[in-house]
Structure formats: C-alpha cells, structure tokens
Structure 1
C-alpha cells in the first residue's frame, strides 16, 4: 500500500502552529492553518531558541535565515539580584555547538513568527489570517468558523494556546483551567542607542549574554535581540494580570518599584524603559489525554502542556511536538492509521513535556527564594560547589539535565519509536492499530 496524503487543519498560527505546518508539509500532506488574528500578532519582545530547536530549524532548511536575525549569546549568567555578581554561568557560545551540534540563540518573537510564516507559505501550507474558529467537532472532524463555514479534515491539530477551544473536543467531559501563578511579568525593550549612550550599561550590548538577576519572588531576564538593535527585558514579580493576554499595558513606576532593591546596573536599564506590557504567568495541570475520543484531533504546545517560562522551553516544546507529528505521519498508508499514530505521538511527547513543565515550575521556587541559608547553599550549588552526585540548582547547567534537554532530537526520536511501533505491529500480524 502506498503513502496516503491527508488533509490537516492546524488551529492557531503562532510559533508552534506554523512550525507544525512546515513539518507536515515536508511530510507531504495538505495543511490549512487557521489564525484568528488579522495580522501576525507576536508582541515586540524576545524569546530564546535553544539547541533542541535550532537543530529542527536546520532540518527544515531555515538555519541560515534565522542566523541573520538572531543574537548568539556567550552565556546565561545567573546573577545576585542586589549586586549583579554572577552566581553561576552556563556557557553557550561555542559550548552548545560543541556539545550538541547546534547553537543557543536569542531572537525577537515577531521575527521568529515571520520567518516561520514565510517558510510555511513557501512549503505550500494554506495559512489563513482572520479565520476565527468557534470550535471543532470530534464526531465529524470538522472546523466550525465564525463566518459560518464548516470545513472537514482527516486530522485537526489544536495549536491554539493555553485557553484552547480545541481542547474542549479532546476532553469533552472535563473543564481544564490554567493554573495561575502568584507572579506576573512585565515585558519591555530598550533601543540599542539608549543603552550605548550610557557607559554604565553599554557593556550589556557589547558582550551579549542572557542575564538573569534572581531574588525573593522576583527576577529579571535580559538580553540583546534583533542583531543588537534592542535590549529585551522580562521581569517576573508578584501580582496578577489577564490570563492569556500579552498586551496589557504595565505601569512604569510600579515596575520600577518592584525592583528598587536590585542591582544599580539593571535599575539604570529600567530607567530607560518608555513603556511595558504586563501578563499573568500561568501553566496547565497535567492533562488526562492529548488526543480526542475519535483519535483524529490532538493538541500541541500550550494547548497540551503550557508551562511557566522559567526554563525558556515553551515554544521549543511546541516545535518538538510538530516535528514529532511530521515524522510519524511521513509514511502514513491510510487515514485509518491516524488514531494509532496520534496515540504514539502522545506516548512519545507526554513524558518529556511533563518533566520540563515540572522543571520550569520548580525554577520559580529555586530562583525566588528569600535571602538566607538555603539561598546561600543554592548559590554555592550554582557556582559548582556541589557534593558528589548532587543536582545543580541551575538546571540549564546541570550535567545530567542539560544534555537531556538540549541534546534531544525530536525527529530521530520519533523515527526510532515509529520503527519500533511498526515492527511490533508486524510481529503481531496486524496493521498499525490503536495503542
């Protein structure tokens, strides 16, 4: 039996949805992406692209395009909130490429989305902006649009974020609400000219690093983006904002007050901020399932495993989800195989995503502890002064966790697991069956 080309809807045109569309087009399938926004809508802020993502972008032929838009940081520096002293660095350039074959990048979110959007279009995906989806139907595998149209597909993928509508079809008998953190965050950028005009902070642009000042219930992650045109700031602090919104205006004086006890250097940077956005930090509880009762609708990214941003892996895991689906569906022989292959997708992806989700949550406690003996021991651990076999509290620098996180190849893992699955099916004398 030859390969079957299937018709796939991806609900959501964010980073995960577009990356998934690229992977599925490379697998030879017909892909329609429905994005509710009338234009590409990523806010003006930065995002980290770790080696487990840059290797997938390279597999999609996008490495050189991204390389023109990114900053290649030297280190992630964990810093003492009050003094700016480096507690523990995680070497990135050239260390990540030497260890894992691929770099760790920093990029503007809007640039990231535009690069993926252009690549999805070039690959032949039909990306429809302004296409608001009211819901999907698991019994008919249909997408119901706000304009009244109903479109039928072989497979529907929910890439529609933490407040996913598609999740209602996957889990019809459960109400899943985001777990709202006690923290929210400000996002802001400062133009390079402002940074360079001040000799006390210009070094932050000249020696690009990802810097993270950590203190009680607060931290500031900051780094240059857009080839050094902007300095990006993400500031976590106690408070609340609208869940799922990224564009609620923040109060500048309130922002500065939250960090009044921080390192004078980063406070000088905050003085240069003209406006900021505020949003709540939230994740999802572990879901009972990612695949619908029919086996024809599944969730990816934040719709399946929204996580706090404290490991900078949310988008990375969505891209891995898409790469996994692309590989599993490459040689599909019949639409009847879809339920089994989606079951395999969930079986492959769930354990990894849940570990990362848990690690991101734990980083909130690790980074935000009050001054005291436990904090002193944490700092010693981040400096590498650890008892034999102890885990580094800087998870990015831990000798066991880092290679598991950054060295992962979602494509080869999916290929291996699919081979094992097909071999097992053949030994049982059956076609691919539901797991």
Structure 2
C-alpha cells in the first residue's frame, strides 16, 4: 500500500528479547511509532562488556533521525581516516578517508565510540521514549503460537509480537538445557519459536580476537605513542592470519585495540579473560610501535570469531515472532557492520509494522521485512568474511599486488592535495581490494537509507 495510505492502528504490545544494541534500537524505533514496548534482558544490568565500536554513515543517518546526535556527540570520536598499515613496519599501504569525505559523499559522518557508551545511550533513549526495560529477565522459552515467553522465574509474558534480538547461539541446542538459564546460551527465540525443527550452529572461523584498552594518559606519557591517542585516526595493521585495529575512544581517554589472531575461545562469550603473554606472542616481530602499545595493556578479553549460516527464515510460521541482529545474521567484524545492520533492522522493522491494520497482517508484513533485509545482510556477511581474507594474506606476490591496489586511495589524496582534479575520494577505484574503499561496494554499504528503502519496497511488495 502506498505510504500515504498507511492505516492507523491501535498500539501493539511488543516484547523484545535482548537489550543489546539492536534490541534497544528497535525499542526506540517502535516507540516512535506509538507501540507499547517491553525489552527483556537476561543480564542483571548493562556492563562495560566490549570496547570500541564503529558507527558508519548508514547508522548515523538513523541515529540522527531518532534525535540521538546530541547524546552521541558527548561520547564519540570523529576519525579523519582509516590507515591500513603493513604489519612489520607500520608503513601505510592504504587509506579510507572518513572526515569530511563521508559527509560529502553520503550526508552523514563516521564515528567511533565505546560500546558501553553506545548501549547506555540507546537504553536511556528507549526508556525516555516510553519503553520498559527489565534486567534479570532471562527467557527460557518462546511460544510462537501463543505469542508468549517464559522467564527463568516462571513468569509467562504475552504479546502481540515477539522480536528476538538475543544474539548468536553456541554450538549446542539451547533446548537441551531448557529448564535452567546458562549465561552462554543465547537466541532462545530462534531455537524455540522461529526454527524449532533445526539446530542452527554458528560457523566458527579459525580466528579469535582480543579486546583491550590502554588509558590515554599512558599513551600520552610516551612521545612515540602520543600521536596515536591524540590524532583522530583508526589504524589497522594487517598481516598473515592476524590484524590489529586500533583507535582512540571516549575523547582520547582510552586507546582501543581489537586483535584478530588464530586461536580458540567460546562462541558467543565476550568476557572470557585472555592471557597477556599469549596476546603479545601473537604479534612478535610486528611494528615496534605495537610492542610499546601492547606492553601497556594490563588486561584483555578474548572471544571466538563466528557468523551464522544463511537461515531459511527469520519469521516464525505463525507470523508473530521475528529475528533481528545477530540472532538472524551474525557476521565477523571485518567490515564493522554487525551493529550497523542491527540498527538498519530496527528502522526497517518499525516501518513494516506501521503498514499493518491489525495483528492479522503481521505474517505478510514480516515476510516483506525478511525480503527487504535478508539479501543485504547476507551480502554483508559474505563481504565481511572476504575482507578478512584480504587483510590476512601471507607475504608473497598476491600480497604485493593487494598493497599496490590499496595504494589507489593514497594516490588520489596526493593528487587532490596537489590540485589535480579527481573524482570523489569516497569512490576510490573498482580495483581496491579493501571493501571499505571499493568504488561500488562502499556507496552501496554506507549510502544506504534503510527507511527510504523500506518504504519503497513496502509500496511495491504490498501491492503484489
């Protein structure tokens, strides 16, 4: 139905399972449409889990539309560029310009933030919009037919619609342990309500990642490290099967490190302690500046890198339960799009629900939501995995060719500085192997307007 013919409906009662970034963003988007929203989170409170996270333009356009720019501006770092560096020398081999390039190309900026700050801002905004957020509400079961969830304390909650924003599942079926909560068991909604006949196992990679932060004052105390914390750049050192992504967060109070490496860890756990000596050993022989940074790390966390296979569906057969975020399309972090896609899910789902006259329309509209979102998310899942392969090449002819192709952006920047006319720097050449700088992939990724796209597709598909 055309946008101008959107029916007015009574507010729906909606349960969201999971108070991660996607669940809270969905609460904001649905409250702005006037629905009654209750977010259930198994953890006792929000915590400082994780470290830095990137907010690309396809997210910032939605966050600004929800009125969150002022709150975010107090916590973000506005990076000038992402510098891709050779692992052993630190030489810059490629650049993705960000500020002001992203604003000029796509109308919205690229930000860096601490995940905990991001989550708190979204939680505060959801509550301010009128959503109810309950912590310590661990979901044991989800019934797609009766549209209910059962909590660990025995309480049964009902709704018109249930949204599963409860993350990636571990390698065992949650239903085997359905009588008691287990901190590592996630996506009860997917296992019990959306795909109860299947066991969906994450696709684990051979890599894990360490997360750590270094206090800004320690970085500033060393003349060689001061530049890293005071200049607003992301730096990514890439080598065989490993990389280190590093950037300042909290206005330079912390230096964030994400270190991908071969190894084992638990799937779906973000807070498993890592061994500092083991962490340093993985990067022996790398850029000497990194030795100095890693020596200042006092503690690190470790988690397994995994994604989900392509799911057969995101919507329950009853049409009253739907998956979003990592529960539907978990991806590896090599495009920094996991959270961004959950934000897009939130905005798209709110537009879809606004097209219904009653709960009888949920099945049809949620299937359209799946048609809109699934292909894009799956393309990004694939692109994320491929970007990791490109970063993690061994030294050799392919790596030399990759580095030469990645240098295209640097040549364009030099040309612009010399006054030689060039195309927009956001479009850096089809041959650039780094997806962030690819002439075709970057605009498709960062220039996406989830709300406009959703409404265009709804106008088209709801007529069919």
The whole-number CA distance in structure 2 between the counterparts of 1:183 and 1:402 is 25
2:190 pairs with one of 167, 170, 173: 167
The whole-number CA distance in structure 2 between the counterparts of 1:288 and 1:328 is 20
Q: Kindly tell me: are residues 37 and 363 of structure 1, through their superposed partners in 2, closer, same or farther at Cα, counting changes over 3 Å? A: same
Equivalent residue, structure 2, for 1:60: 66
Unaligned ranges ≥5, structure 2: 1-6, 170-186, 412-427
Equivalent residue, structure 2, for 1:112: 118
The whole-number CA distance in structure 2 between the counterparts of 1:129 and 1:172 is 26
Equivalent residue, structure 2, for 1:414: 454
- Equivalent positions of 1:279-428 (< 5 A) are 279-384=303-408, 390-422=430-462, 424=463
**Offset from partner CA, 1:55-104 (integer Å, 9 cap, x none):** 00001000111111100000011110001111110000111011111110
The whole-number CA distance in structure 2 between the counterparts of 1:323 and 1:289 is 19
SS at match of 2:60: helix
Cα offset, 1:420, TM superposition: 1.8
SS at match of 2:222: coil
SS at match of 1:417: helix
Equivalent residue, structure 2, for 1:432: none
1:183 pairs with one of 207, 212, 216: 207
The TM-score, its normalising length taken from structure 2, stands at 0.89
Equivalent residue, structure 1, for 2:265: 241
SS at match of 1:273: coil
Q: Does the aligned pair in 2 maintain the 1:28–1:330 contact within 8 Å?
A: no
Equivalent residue, structure 1, for 2:88: 82
The whole-number CA distance in structure 1 between the counterparts of 2:11 and 2:367 is 19
How many residues get paired? Answer: 423
**1:251 equivalenced with 2:291 (yes/no):** no
Q: Kindly tell me: are residues 2 and 187 of structure 1, through their superposed partners in 2, closer, same or farther at Cα, counting changes over 3 Å? A: closer
**1:195 equivalenced with 2:201 (yes/no):** no
Runs (4 or more) in structure 1 with deviation over 3 Å come to 388-391
Q: Does the aligned pair in 1 maintain the 2:430–2:438 contact within 8 Å?
A: no
The TM-score, its normalising length taken from structure 1, stands at 0.95
The whole-number CA distance in structure 2 between the counterparts of 1:358 and 1:71 is 28
Cα offset, 1:2, TM superposition: 3.5
Q: Does the aligned pair in 1 maintain the 2:429–2:439 contact within 8 Å?
A: no
The whole-number CA distance in structure 2 between the counterparts of 1:127 and 1:362 is 37
2:78 pairs with one of 72, 75, 80: 72
- Equivalent positions of 1:224-239 (< 5 A) are 224-239=248-263
Q: Does the aligned pair in 2 maintain the 1:4–1:331 contact within 8 Å?
A: no
**Offset from partner CA, 1:16-74 (integer Å, 9 cap, x none):** 00001000111111111000010103415100000000100001000111111100000
- Equivalent positions of 1:119-134 (< 5 A) are 119-134=125-140
Measured on the aligned residues, the alpha-carbon RMSD in Å equals 1.4
Q: Does the aligned pair in 1 maintain the 2:429–2:438 contact within 8 Å?
A: no
The whole-number CA distance in structure 1 between the counterparts of 2:372 and 2:247 is 33
Cα offset, 1:349, TM superposition: 0.2
Q: Kindly tell me: are residues 354 and 402 of structure 1, through their superposed partners in 2, closer, same or farther at Cα, counting changes over 3 Å? A: same
Q: Does the aligned pair in 2 maintain the 1:162–1:303 contact within 8 Å?
A: yes
The whole-number CA distance in structure 1 between the counterparts of 2:119 and 2:129 is 15
2:152 pairs with one of 139, 146, 151: 146
**Offset from partner CA, 1:267-296 (integer Å, 9 cap, x none):** 210111011011111111111110011011
Q: Does the aligned pair in 2 maintain the 1:4–1:335 contact within 8 Å?
A: no
Q: Does the aligned pair in 2 maintain the 1:188–1:234 contact within 8 Å?
A: yes
1:270 pairs with one of 285, 290, 294: 294
Q: Does the aligned pair in 1 maintain the 2:430–2:439 contact within 8 Å?
A: no
Q: Does the aligned pair in 1 maintain the 2:335–2:387 contact within 8 Å?
A: yes
Q: Kindly tell me: are residues 176 and 182 of structure 1, through their superposed partners in 2, closer, same or farther at Cα, counting changes over 3 Å? A: same
Q: Does the aligned pair in 1 maintain the 2:214–2:256 contact within 8 Å?
A: yes
The whole-number CA distance in structure 2 between the counterparts of 1:312 and 1:96 is 15
The whole-number CA distance in structure 1 between the counterparts of 2:51 and 2:290 is 17
Cα offset, 1:181, TM superposition: 0.8
**Offset from partner CA, 1:122-169 (integer Å, 9 cap, x none):** 001011011010010011111111111111111100000001111111
Q: Does the aligned pair in 1 maintain the 2:331–2:384 contact within 8 Å?
A: yes
